[in-house]
């Protein structure tokens, strides 16, 4: 049985050409990068496990992101830290749109939902 890092989506299967597979971690990385490009988002927030892993020297760009791919549709759960002073609902709508567009444009998969959890607010 595969573990979490073995998960992947088949996005193109041509009999004469081959198969294109995208690992879930790649989709998570796309979501993370897209989310942090939005003004007002300070960083992705990690779980306790991710924090312990980064102290041990294992750093992941996918910290604070969970991706589930089923039948060509992607569900993304993000935990983010916001900058103080930004409108949270408006910023989250921008993050949702940006993440959805990035995943769909780069992978060809359909992004069904982008769920955001505000894990904190950073004061400058």
Which residues have a Cβ under 8 Å from the Cβ of 41 and sit 6 or more positions away? 35, 80, 81, 82, 83, 91, 95
Tens-of-pLDDT digits for all 124 residues of the chain? 344 445 677 666 666 777 778 888 889 999 999 999 999 998 887 644 445 445 544 445 678 899 999 888 999 999 999 999 999 999 999 999 999 999 999 999 999 999 999 999 999 7
- The model carries a pTM of 0.78
How many alpha carbons lie under 13 Å from residue 33 in its C-beta half-sphere? 11
The whole-number pLDDT of residue 9 equals 72
């Amino acid at each position: 049985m595969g573990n979490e890092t073995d998960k992947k989506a088949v996005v193109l299967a041509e009999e004469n050409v081959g198969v294109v597979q995208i690992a879930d971690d790649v989709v998570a990385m796309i979501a993370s990068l897209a989310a942090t490009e939005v003004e007002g988002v300070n960083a992705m927030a990690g779980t306790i496990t991710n924090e312990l892993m980064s102290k041990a020297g294992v750093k992941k760009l996918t910290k604070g992101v969970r991706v589930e791919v089923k039948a060509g549709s992607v569900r993304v759960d993000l935990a983010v830290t916001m900058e103080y002073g930004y409108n949270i609902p408006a910023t989250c709508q921008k993050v949702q749109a940006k993440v959805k567009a990035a995943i769909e444009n780069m992978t060809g998969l359909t992004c069904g939902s982008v769920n955001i959890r505000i894990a904190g607010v950073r004061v400058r």
